[in-house]
Amino acid sequence: MAEISNRNRVDEALLLVAEALDPFIEREVAQHIPEGEDWTVLVRLRDEEAGKYGLTYSRTDPQTQLKMIIGRFGKLGYLFDRSLSRAEKNFASELASVRNDFAHFNKAFGADDTYRALDTAERLLRAIGAVAQADTVRKSRSDVQRKTYAEETRRDTRAATKMPELGAAELSPWREVLAPHTDIASNDFARAEFAADLYQVSTGLEASSDYNDPTEFFNRTYLTDGLKTLLTLAVKRLGGDMNAAPVINLQTTFGGGKTHSMLAVWHLFSGRALVDLPQGVQSLFAGIDTVALERPVKRVAIVGNEIAPGQSWEKPDGTVIRTLWGELAWQLGGAEGYSMVADSDANGTNPGAALRDLIARYSPALILIDEWVAYARGLYGNDALIGGTFETQFTFAQLLTEAVKSVPGALLLVSIPASDIRRDGDEAAASDLEVGGLNGRAALERLQNVVSRVALNWSPASSNESFEIVKRRLFQEPDAAAQRKIDATVERFFEYYLKNAGELPSETKDLDYKARLRAAYPIHPELFDRLYGDWSTLEKFQRTRGVLRLMSSVVHALYAAGDDSPLIMPGSLPLDSAAVRDEITGYLDDAWKSIIEKDIDGQQATAVYIDNEKELFGRRALTRRIARATFMGSAATLQTQHKGIERKRVFLGVAMPGDTIGNFGSALSILGDRATYLYGDNDRYWFDRQPSLNRKVVERAEAYPEEDIWAAVIDRIRKTEPKSTPEIAEVIVAPVDTVDISESDRVRLIIAHPRYTHEVKGKDTAARTYAQELVTKRGAAPRVNANTVIVLTADSSRWPELDSSLRQYKAWNDIHADKDVLDLTQGQVAEVRRKIDALNQTVAQRIRETWIWALYPEQADGSQPFRVAAAKADGATESLARHVGERLRKTDVVIVQSSPQMLALELGKHLRNKWNDGRVSVGELWEYHARYPYLSRYRDKQVLLDAIAPVFDDIAWQEVGFALADAYDTDTGDFVGLKVPLFDKVPFSIDDSMLLVAPRLAVAQRQRQHAAEAMDEPVDQASANPATPTNPAVGPASPTAPIASPTIANARYSGVIDLKPGSDLATQLKQVAEELLAHLQNADPETLEVRLSVDAGKRAGFPEGVVRTVRENGSNLGFTKNRFEAL
């Protein structure tokens, strides 16, 4: 037999839909059809109003039928609002798209598309009551899925992007602690569908022993408190206890376990001996009269959506049934039972007292009615149907409840959809998929009114019990050894949560959460919370059934892949598995598949790319797991007022022992910057179907030429850096050429262009080469003042981060400029502004973190060539120049305050050839300092001048010092205007022509002068003048030989200390006074000079009030140079 293609299956389904829709449409719009016409006239008239003439219409054309269902017809409005819900009309819209693809595009249908088309067709057929056609389509759908699941498994194995090992050494992988049931491990779809079907079980069509066999059913069923209560009530009632509730309404939300609970009661009274059922069921009835389980019980199962209200159906014995009461009678007593209500069944009228007689005759009797609303709504407004009128249906419901109530040993279980309070909704509304349009709501209200008078309302499970239901169905029971491993895992997770409490939701610190971890194992409670809290709000997600379907795919995929994680978490969901992806996106629209592949999971996903790029993340697949957890926590919330998931909950869905939680924020931030569909706002994150602004930003950021980024950072630095600092005489930003750096004799800080970068161990970096060129050249000429150039360059490892931040900053600014063109919402504009503000600060910080290398010429002495030295000056908090200047001052690379001793030492060491002549002019000395890197690098000439004058107060000037002179007379060999420290006054001004004189020459000349003066004076005159200086070095001396002054050890002290302005200055000054100055004072020195130098700078300028106060107080305290200067 030839294999049926997917395209043929879709074709057959569309034909079945067409066959069923024609009578349905005819019936629903009959009142609007002119006499002698059929329903297609309404479509023709609407088209003609729109100017479309000459078209042909067929009652069996799916296109025309589906247009009829979903279209608006002028003043008549939407004609099917009463009979179909919004969700059911969406099925029609989706089928219209399928039919269009089939008819016009010659589309090849893959397994996923085929399954989706057949599933939609089946749902629409059941919604219109076309049971037989729906069953045919269901069989085709099951065939497709059974046939393709093996191929999907192979495809998953080939295509899955390998995950790294995530296990912790001290923890066992979940798969080794709790193995999944065989059907889950083997991915046996027929068993794993989890859609309990009362009709198939009761008619023997269900092949799976999980649902068909009582013992297997109870083995896989977790007995919740609600289910225990239901089973106990059933045993009591069917045993004759008139105090037990006769009518029970199993009222839960869509997929909440109503049918499963009915099956539990059905199997309990199957005739299987109690001792053959699991121990949990046996223990339930200990001490209870179980007579009802020891005798035959008549069982009736009626499923409303399996019965068409407008059609009769024939039983194996030839009995033709038309109504629900006819079906009830036949199931209780066969043809004999049917005969008791045959007339009322044939006429579609209520059976009256015969109904009580029927139930009494065949009791004990268990009656189960599922999907009653689905049947009743088909009667609304259609009084001519053979199933009876809408009103008769509720008369029957009232008669049935009263009859069951009055008959001992009779029990009625009814499932009526519960109100389902949707998120962000103000009113409770039952699920559209279960109720179906205005007619369904009318049926629901009437049934609730009738049944609630007698029925006990019952709910099957609490939220915590729902976890147990899923666990029991998916995993085997743990033994003692497994339980010990579970306890160890729970303890380790709880310790990990306490250690990282600040990064996780507060409840993770509570012992109650520890208990939840244990109860939910091996599934993390956060995953259950997301599924039951968020995903269950989706219309097509059937709570426990939906959780079971999804988690069976997840568990199988992880088990087959050898997942070694200690728990199954939101971040564990293998969305790169086709089966898992198809299952979870089945509750969303088709766009999500491409979103997952683009950003979240798969070989080309953004998250996977980031992990591959960053080894720190990739070792734990961190970005990928964060993307998965964000998707699981946000996709179902997209249509709510509070969409998205909190940052801490994202982390909770990922964090496990072995993870460094401090890396999570970075991974999420990078993902947010690069992902196309990820949004973030006020610590909440979500994936959306529309590309985020981030994608536009990334595209623009990548498109900027490198030159634009360079120009932007240079412009920022120029605007923010001062022109000078206390240590730097001039700040120059990114000069174009060496010729732009003048031959100034002041220290310049050249903030280099970003193309010149340096690295820690770089010997021939671009920055070092650039600095070498600046120091040695000015244009084509050699540079003279090489010792005045310092270059501040960028770190090569830091530049990429600054480049990325600046590109994003520019891109967000461009987005803001184009906000009208891009039609941004107010919320998006606010988001853009927040991004700009945040990135502005980031860029400023990263500039300070990037320009950290100060390069300057360094030379040991004049006989050696200079080299370009590098000093790291990171840690800047404001200005680059100010911070670098402070660092260089502290390391004596730049000198802002010198002394006569320092000058004398350098003269004797580095300028000894010159100093051997005994003299050097101030101008010459300054030229040397500006030119040669082996001399101290003074900020400017003033530093040199300020270092000269203090020599006149230095008692040790002859050892380490100098004298001054106005000029040198080459003819006489004497210095003109010689000024000797301690005996002559400091010159009023010191200029370039003034000479520094070696002490030996100054002493010798002064001695000669005194000797000459002594020879010219009478002897008594000299002896009579005791006030004449008698210092043997410079005073009157022997005419034959000068007398050398004796060397006195430890005769002078000088010291400099840098105080810490950020600390307590008063305490620091007090400490200096007590621990140093006090000892000097107590030694009775001839001279004691203490100077306090204050140097403060503020780029924006000091406030006027501060300026006024400092000036006044400085004047009162006797400060000299008590002034503020402009920069």
pLDDT digits (tens, 9 = 90+) for 372-387: 888 888 888 777 788 8
Q: How many CB atoms lie under 10 A from the CB of residue 711?
A: 14
pLDDT exceeds 60 at position 1046: no
pTM assigned to the model: 0.59
d(CA 419, CA 427): 9
Among the residue ranges 155-159, 404-408, 474-478, 704-708, the one predicted with the least confidence is: 155-159
Q: Which of 959, 975, 1007 is the last residue of a domain?
A: 1007
Domain end among 840, 873, 889: 889
The four Cα atoms 638, 641, 646, 649 give a dihedral, to 10 degrees, of: -70
Is residue 1019 one of the residues assigned to a domain?
A: no
Residues forming a β-bridge with 855 = 791, 870
Which range has the worst mean pLDDT, 90-104, 129-143, 1031-1045? 1031-1045
pLDDT bucket at 430, cuts 50 / 70 / 90: very low
- Per residue in 891-924, pLDDT (tens digit) is 999 999 999 999 999 999 999 989 999 999 999 9
User: How far apart are alpha carbons 628 and 65 in whole angstroms?
Assistant: 41
Q: Which residues lie below 8 Å from residue 48, measured CB to CB, with a gap of 6+?
A: none
Give the model's pLDDT for residue 1045: 44
Give the per-residue pLDDT at 105.
61
**Domain range holding 853?**
702-889
Helix axes 62-70, 6-28, angle to 10 degrees: 50
pLDDT of residue 426: 33
Position 538 scores a pLDDT of 84
Q: Are residues 253 and 145 in the same domain?
A: no
- Looking at the predicted structure, is the pLDDT value of residue 205 above 80? no
- Supply the CATH number for residue 308's domain: 3.40.50.300
Distance CA(516)–CA(985), nearest Å, equals 90
Q: Name, in order, each residue with C-beta under 8 angstroms of 99's C-beta and a sequence gap of 6 or more.
A: 14, 62, 63, 66
Quick one: average pLDDT of 616-635?
94
Q: Inform me whether the pLDDT recorded for 939 exceeds 90.
A: yes
* pLDDT at residue 379, rounded to an integer: 84
Q: Is the per-residue pLDDT at 335 higher than 50?
A: yes
- Strands of the sheet with 678-681, listed across from one edge: 645-646, 684-687, 678-681
Inter-helix orientation angle 111-127/86-104, to 10°: 130
What was the pLDDT predicted at 104? 72
The rounded distance, in Å, linking the Cα atoms of 676 and 678 is 6
Residue 1047 — very low, low, confident or very high, per pLDDT cuts 50/70/90? Answer: low
The whole-number pLDDT of residue 164 equals: 73
Residue of 372, 458, 454, 361 lying closest to 409 (CA atoms): 361
Burial state string for 1044-1056 with b = 16 or more CB within 10 A and e = fewer than 16:
eeeeeeeeeeeee
β-pairing, 365-370 with 298-303? parallel
Concatenated DSSP letters of 287-318: TS--GGGSS--EEEEEEGGGS-TT--EE-TTS
DSSP class per residue in 806-827: HHHHHHHHHHHHTTTTTT--HH
Predicted confidence band of residue 674 (pLDDT cuts 50, 70, 90): confident
Same structural domain, 517 and 662:
yes
Do 69 and 145 lie in a common domain? Answer: yes
Peptide bond into 364 cis (omega under 30): yes
Q: What is the pLDDT of residue 1066?
A: 79
Q: 525-533 and 511-520 are packed helices; what angle lies between their axes, rounded to 10 degrees? A: 80
C-alpha triplet 712, 715, 720: angle, nearest 5°: 125
Assess whether the previous peptide bond of 1042 is cis (omega < 30° from 0): no
Are 511 and 647 contained in the same domain? yes
Cα–Cα distances (Å) from 95 to 23, 65, 70, 369, 680, in that order, read 18, 11, 11, 31, 35
Q: What is the distance, to the nearest Å, from the Cα of residue 782 to the centroid of all Cα atoms in its chain?
A: 56
- Over residues 973-980, mean pLDDT: 94
Amino acid at 644: G
How much is the pLDDT for 1023? 42
Amino acid at 550: L
Question: How far, in Å, are 23, 25, 381, 639, 918 from residue 36 at the CA level?
Answer: 16, 16, 22, 47, 133
Rounded mean pLDDT, 634-656: 92
* Averaged confidence pLDDT in the chain: 86
Is residue 156 scored above 70 in pLDDT?
no
Region 646-675 average pLDDT: 93
Which alpha helices (DSSP H) does 377-479 contain, by range?
Answer: 390-406, 432-435, 437-451, 463-474
pLDDT confidence of residue 801: 93
Banded pLDDT at 169 (limits 50, 70, 90): low
Query: Which of 122-131, 160-169, 782-791 tops mean pLDDT?
Result: 782-791
Confidence of residue 463 (pLDDT cuts 50, 70, 90): low
CB-CB neighbours of 56 under 10 Å: 8
DSSP 657: T
Asked whether residue 164 is domain-assigned, the answer is no
- Based on the fold, state whether residues 101 and 226 are members of the same structural domain: no
C-alpha angle 249/252/254, rounded to 5°? 130
921 and 869 in a common domain:
no
Instruction: Confirm if 546 and 536 have CB atoms less than 8 A apart.
Output: yes
- Of 845, 869, 889, the last residue of a domain is 889
Cβ atoms of 387 and 323 within 8 Å: the answer is yes
User: What pLDDT, on the 0 to 100 scale, is given for residue 857?
Assistant: 96
pLDDT tens track for 759-808: 988 778 999 999 999 999 999 999 999 999 999 999 999 999 999 999 99
Residue closest to 688 by CA, chosen among 697, 680, 679, 675: 679
Least confident of 160-164, 327-331, 435-439, 454-458: 160-164
Whether residue 505 is predicted with pLDDT greater than 90 in this model: the reply is: yes
Q: Same domain, yes or no, for 85 and 204?
A: no
H/E element, 680: strand 678-681
Task: Give the pairing type, strands 963-965 and 789-795.
Answer: unpaired
256 pLDDT exceeds 60? Answer: no
Joined tokens for residue 94: 């989706």
Q: What is the pLDDT of residue 1036?
A: 43
CB 348 within 8 A of CB 385: yes
User: Please, what's the largest Cα pairwise distance for the chain?
Assistant: 169
- Between the alpha carbon of residue 283 and those of residues 262, 279, 369, 459, the distances in Å are 20, 6, 28, 22
pLDDT band at residue 1056 under the 50/70/90 scheme: confident
Number of Cβ within a 10 Å radius of residue 776: 15
What's the pLDDT at 1017?
63
Specify the 3-state DSSP secondary structure of 351.
Answer: coil
> Do 525 and 620 share a domain, yes or no?
yes
Report yes or no on 87 lying in a domain: yes
Same-domain check for residues 734 and 663: no
Q: Which amino acid is at 499?
A: K
What average pLDDT does the segment 517-528 reach? 94
Residue 995: per-residue pLDDT: 96
d(CA 304, CA 417): 13
If one counts the domains in the chain, the total is 6
Residue 376's closest CA among 454, 455, 448?
448
pLDDT(356) > 90: yes
pLDDT for the residue 152: 55
The separation between CA 804 and the C-alpha centre of its own chain, rounded to angstroms, equals: 19
Q: Could you report the per-residue pLDDT of 830-841, keeping only the tens digit for each?
A: 889 998 999 999
**319 domain residue, yes or no:** yes
CA pair distance 981, 963, nearest whole angstrom: 6
Cβ count near 169 (within 10 Å): 6
Helix axes 131-159, 543-561, angle to 10 degrees: 30
Domain-located, residue 696? no
Structure confidence at residue 161 (pLDDT): 59
DSSP state for residue 523 in the 8-state scheme: B
pLDDT at 423 over 60: no
pLDDT value at 736 more than 60? yes
Considering 13-27, 104-118, 438-452, 703-717, the range whose residues carry the highest mean pLDDT is: 703-717
CA 787 – CA 928 distance, rounded (Å)? 9
Average pLDDT of span 160-189: 78
Our CA angle for 189, 194, 200, nearest 5°, is 95
With H, G, I as helix, E, B as strand and everything else as coil, classify residue 233: helix
- Is residue 94 a contact partner of residue 54, using CB atoms and an 8 Å limit? no
Confidence of residue 207 (pLDDT cuts 50, 70, 90): low
| pLDDT above 90: residue 425 | no
b/e map of 251-267 (b: 16 or more CB within 10 Å)? bbbbbbbbbbbbbbbbb
* 867 shares its domain with 912: no
Q: How far apart are the first and last CA of the chain?
A: 95
Whether residues 684 and 592 share a domain: the answer is: yes
Which of the residue ranges 309-323, 488-502, 577-591, 622-636 would you say has the lowest mean pLDDT? 577-591
The torsion defined by the Cα of 58, 61, 63 and 66, in degrees rounded to 10, comes to 90
Q: Among 649, 648, 637, which residue's Cα sits nearest to residue 688?
A: 637
pLDDT band at 1034 (very low <50, low <70, confident <90, very high): low
Same domain, 140 and 234: no
Rounded CA-CA distance 396/404 in Å is 12
